[in-house]
Amino acid sequence: MSILMTKQELFDNKVSKVMPMHIGNVYDKRMKAVEGYIDLFSVHPFSGSEVGTVLDDVVSTRGKMIRPRLLLLASEFGSACKTAQDRLCKLAAIVEMTHMASLIHDDIVDDSDYRRGKPSIQKKYGKDAAVYAGDFLMGRISYYMMKEAMNRAGIVLSKTIEAMCAGEIGQAMCRYKEDVTVEEYLNNIHGKTVALFMACCRIGAMESGCDERMVRNLELFGECLGLMFQIRDDLLDFTSDVLTIGKSAHKDFQEGIYTMPILCAMKQPGGREALIPFMRRNAEGALTLQEMFQMETAVTRLGGVEAAWQEIKKRQWQAEAIADELPQCEYSRLLLKLVRKLGTV
């Protein structure tokens, strides 16, 4: 199969549809418990208020719950997995609540009107209510981790939240920066996205009794998976059909966030000369739809899209090597299927 796809095929093949394909129905029974704990941990006394409406909206509008599923999957390699089921489900609920809070805050910082094609929380209810709701969730996370004496997992999650903030700050510092490097981009996505994938794997393995070598291997697998997930997500944003979708296409580029396809193209001979004029007009808010299409064409011609896919494949090969070192069982095969599906064009 060619490394390239039509823009519409890429747009239709969303990451959120890829990952749960191999993990979605494996933990449906246990996920009922996770969802129950999310409901319990997010109970609030704000009924009838804007903040209460935000919390109800966020908690009821659940996605594929990839992160808690990943935590539960990593826990299968530990000797105490069966006896620690309830605790693991609570931790899975907590990592999903962390993700929920981070999305609320990200949309506020980015001033985003939409999240996955639907109006964002801050667009629907205002920034004040969104801020309070996100902070409330983070407070509940801290409370229940201390209440349940989840000290080791709490340390991991606290450092993860720090890394997520650092990634978002780093990305903000790189906005509209013409000389941003691939290394800076990777550092930023490592914080804002990859860190939570790693934490899910580490917490799941650690809390189920895995030894440190197993914990580290699963954490490294989560790192590869998170990198693949974010690079692919960035690539899908870049390859959305600008002439059909219009201003909602190339959202990252329009916001001055230059992702892997752009940065790889910039490294090619003639890449900077071809792309910097578009970047400067974009920073001035003067880039037209036709010019965005021309920019996309230049990036593709310079090999930026293909190079981004090759980076995904590189991380896939690393993840496969890690999976080969895990005990060969139903769950290691599941991880292998997952990473291969995510690495498929």
Q: In this model, does residue 268 exceed pLDDT 90? A: yes
Best-predicted range by mean pLDDT (53-62, 98-107, 165-174, 232-241): 165-174
The pLDDT value recorded for residue 286 is: 83
For the ranges 12-21, 207-216, 270-279, which has the lowest average pLDDT? 12-21
pLDDT above 90 covers a percentage of the chain that reads 71
CA gap 94, 24 in Å, rounded: 19
- pLDDT category, 117, cuts 50, 70, 90? low
Q: How many helices (H) and strands (E) does the chain have?
A: 19, 2
pLDDT tens sequence across 220-238? 999 999 999 999 999 888 8
Query: Looking at residues 146-167, what average pLDDT do you find?
Result: 97
Single out the residue of 134, 137, 216, 201 nearest to residue 168, CA to CA.
Answer: 134
pLDDT band at 125 (very low <50, low <70, confident <90, very high): confident
User: Do 219 and 201 meet the contact criterion of CB atoms below 8 Å apart?
Assistant: yes
Taking only Cα atoms into account, the Rg of the chain, rounded to an integer number of angstroms, comes to 20
Residue 116: band (very low, low, confident or very high) from pLDDT cuts 50, 70, 90: low
Q: Which of 207, 221, 263, 271 is nearest to 238 (CA)?
A: 263
CA distances from 138 to 62, 106, 158, 225 (A): 17, 14, 11, 25
Q: Residue 212: what pLDDT?
A: 96
pLDDT greater than 80 at residue 148 = yes
Structure tokens at 233: 């997500």
Q: What is the mean pLDDT of the chain?
A: 88
Residue 52 is classified by DSSP as H
Q: Which one is predicted more confidently, 164 or 25?
A: 164
Q: What is the pLDDT of residue 240?
A: 65
What is the tens place of the pLDDT at every residue in 159-202?
999 999 999 999 999 999 999 999 999 999 999 999 999 999 99
